[in-house]
Amino acid sequence: MWHRVFARSEVVVTPAELVAHLHSEGLPVVPHFKGDDLGWTGGDLVLPGGGTAVHLDRYLTEVDELRKELNSFAAELETMDYSPNNVPFMERVIQTRQLIAYRRPIDHADDAMLERLCETIASYLAIKLDGVYQIDTRGWFTAEGVLAVAEY
């Protein structure tokens, strides 16, 4: 299941900041990040107990060719007129300056901890980066974790 954070801010949340927050939330991840002169570009967060790491990718709209993908998400939101939040979320997607995407692995022994990790990452990054997030098959969420547009 994919998680995506659509951020309006260009601020870089460093891996150290993210990991410190996760540790403060009782999520004992071990980080492995890589980057370039624009900040981190990808990284793995490993939970104890084995299983596949949560791999994050960070894309910048000014550098990476994201506009086509962002337009697809905006177009999908435009069709979700059963929700009064579809247009505001469509506008947020169009205003995206960076996109952080990661997939929830299916092979971890502690499913509850893995789910909490994935949701904590999304909410924290969305709050810090003036963003919203989307989880495949579940929908679109405010930074605080409120479901605003359900996916059917």
Q: Which stretches of 1-149 are DSSP H helices? A: 15-24, 67-78, 86-94, 111-128
97-126 residue pLDDT tens:
999 999 999 887 788 899 999 999 999 999
CA–CA separation, 148 vs 38, rounded Å?
Answer: 32
What one-letter code names the amino acid at 77? L
Sheet containing 30-36, strands listed edge to edge, beginning at the edge strand earlier in sequence: 30-36, 39-46, 54-60, 98-103, 2-7, 131-135, 139-141, 147-150
Query: In angstroms, what CA-CA distances link 15 with 108, 139, 149?
Result: 22, 26, 29
What does the pLDDT read at residue 120?
98
Are residues 3 and 132 in contact, defined by beta-carbon separation less than 8 angstroms? no
CA–CA separation, 146 vs 56, rounded Å?
Answer: 22
What does the pLDDT read at residue 70?
97
Q: Does pLDDT of 54 surpass 80?
A: yes
8-36 residue pLDDT tens:
999 999 999 999 999 999 999 999 999 99
Query: In angstroms, what CA-CA distances link 111 with 43, 74, 105, 132?
Result: 21, 31, 10, 24
pTM of the entire structure?
0.95
CA–CA separation, 114 vs 43, rounded Å?
Answer: 16
- Confidence class for position 78, pLDDT limits 50, 70, 90: very high
Nearest to 56 by CA among 45, 69, 47: 45
